[in-house]
Amino acid sequence: MKPITDKNFLNFLGKPLIEWQLELIKNAGLDEVVIVGGKHNLEKLVLCGKNLGIDVTVIEQKDLDAGMCGAVLAAKDKIGSEPVLIFSSNDVVEKSAFESVLTAFEAGEAEGYLLGKVVHTYFPGGYLEISEDGCIKNIVEKPEKGKEPSNLVNLVVHIHKDFAKLVSYLEKAKSDSDDLYEVALGNMINDGIKMKAVKYEGFWQPIKFPWHVNKVFKFLFENAEKTTSKSAQISKNAIIKGDVIIGENVKILEGATVNGPVYIGDGSVIATNALVRESNIGKNCVIGFSTEVARSFLGDDVWTHSNYIGDSVIGNNVSFGAGTVTGNLRLDEGEISVTGDNKKTPTGECKLGLITGDNVRVGINNSFMPGVKIGSDTFIGAGLVIAENIPAKSFVKGEVTLKITENKVDISKINRDEMKKKIK
């Protein structure tokens, strides 16, 4: 996700993702939640648990390299031997995902219930191998395409009847990879502990890469109430099409066009001749004169003027100088790959623009190539073509060499009337 520092606090429709997940849990009928986080986000997590009407305990996972196994073990003293539902906050699902697995648990006698997402195309994840009675025989991690044991992908909405028993297997699990949790489940199954698969065919989108963000925005928007604040000031000469959510004190000026689905956060301005479509605009943003924002996710305090921002993910406190544009389509219209950790990752997308962290300033007349990433706390000088990733805390400038020679044309004798005739 770099340069995005913490996807749990990406603000969708004005609320961080973790709050959306907590509301989902509450609406599914669960009212006691343990959130396991790292030292870097504990304070924010504590604040998110307030005012939701559920009992939230926040616990620090000190060894983040221990992955999901470490997260679960961090909560062992709090939960004891009670039944527990384990959920990954990075997976966005419908309420029915929780309802299905809870219904199966309440009606069944198995020790564990794992949600299996029905897939129709290959997904590089863990698959559930099941018997005719729905019991899980094995979890196969990333099988080769065409050798999947079923069409059920292991989705982390799991119920365990006895949490202490799970903990005992986690503490004994061994692996050279980061799949200790899955190894522990496999050992439980091999020891005859009965686990059943619960089929799920609803929406699922893991937020693993930045290009997943807009898909989650569309899902959350589709299920949100479409409202326009009474304090919003919308010009009679502005055009609003489709479903929109418009926050407090938003201003939409003359000649602006907003094509839903669009969310516009509190205090933002959509200026004259601006076009916003299929995008999440954070609070206190300025979509300046003659700017187009298309299929993009903008954080808070983003300022633009005469820009094009397409299929991009923009952080908080980012400013674009006039004339700066994001490229979002390759010349050959092929799949875009993103470079990170010294390797290229194919995105599966033919349109992908710029990805930035927070606190970025971009000068005038810059062009960003598709899939470029800009780290936080960075300045980009004027008049550049940016075709590579820029690390955090960078100051980027380029050199423009001017070639000046004698002018041998008498400009005063240029006949504009003759030129107009040629144009006609």
DSSP for 324-347 reads -EE--B-TT----EEEETTEEEE-
Integer Cα distance of 339 and 12 in angstroms:
26
Instruction: Tell me the pLDDT band of 423, cut-offs 50, 70 and 90.
Output: low
pLDDT in tens, 120-138: 999 888 999 999 888 999 9
The residue behind tokens 């990333």 is: 142
For residue 51, pLDDT over 90 is answered with: no
Domains of the chain: 7-208 (3.90.550.10), 214-396 (2.160.10.10)
171 HSE (CA, 13 A, CB side): 10
Integer Cα distance of 300 and 313 in angstroms:
12
Backbone phi, then psi, for 407, in 5-degree steps?
-85, 120
Integer Cα distance of 424 and 421 in angstroms:
5
Can you read off the two tokens belonging to residue 123? 């997904």
The predicted structure's pLDDT at residue 380 = 97
Integer Cα distance of 69 and 55 in angstroms:
23
* pLDDT > 70: percent of the chain: 98
Evaluate whether 183 touches 174 at the Cβ level (below 8 Å).
yes
For residue 303, pLDDT over 90 is answered with: yes
Evaluate whether 29 touches 50 at the Cβ level (below 8 Å).
no
Q: What is the DSSP letter of 180?
A: H
- Lowest-pLDDT choice from 8-17, 44-53, 86-95, 224-233: 44-53
Looking at every residue in the chain, the average pLDDT score rounds to 93
Integer Cα distance of 375 and 387 in angstroms:
14
Q: What is the DSSP letter of 391?
A: -
Please state the separation of Cα 354 from the chain's center in Å: 14
Evaluate whether 264 touches 279 at the Cβ level (below 8 Å).
no
Omega within 30 of 0 (cis) for the link into 16: no
Other Cβ atoms less than 10 A from the Cβ of 54: the count is 14
Sign of CA dihedral 18, 20, 22, 24: negative
Please state the separation of Cα 273 from the chain's center in Å: 29
Integer Cα distance of 140 and 135 in angstroms:
14
The predicted structure's pLDDT at residue 400 = 79
Instruction: Tell me the pLDDT band of 171, cut-offs 50, 70 and 90.
Output: very high
By CB atoms closer than 10 A (0-12, 13-18, 19+), residue 243 is middle
Integer Cα distance of 363 and 380 in angstroms:
6
159 forms beta bridges with 85, 113
Evaluate whether 380 touches 363 at the Cβ level (below 8 Å).
yes
Whose CA is closest to 367, among 303, 288, 420, 310?
A: 310
pLDDT in tens, 337-382: 999 888 899 999 999 999 999 999 999 999 999 999 999 999 999 9
pLDDT in tens, 236-250: 999 999 999 999 999
The predicted structure's pLDDT at residue 299 = 97
Evaluate whether 251 touches 275 at the Cβ level (below 8 Å).
no
Q: What is the DSSP letter of 413?
A: G
The predicted structure's pLDDT at residue 424 = 62
The predicted structure's pLDDT at residue 266 = 98
Instruction: Tell me the pLDDT band of 190, cut-offs 50, 70 and 90.
Output: very high
For residue 263, pLDDT over 70 is answered with: yes
351 forms beta bridges with 329
Sign of CA dihedral 50, 52, 55, 56: negative
308 forms beta bridges with 292, 325
Could you tell me how many residues make up the chain? 424
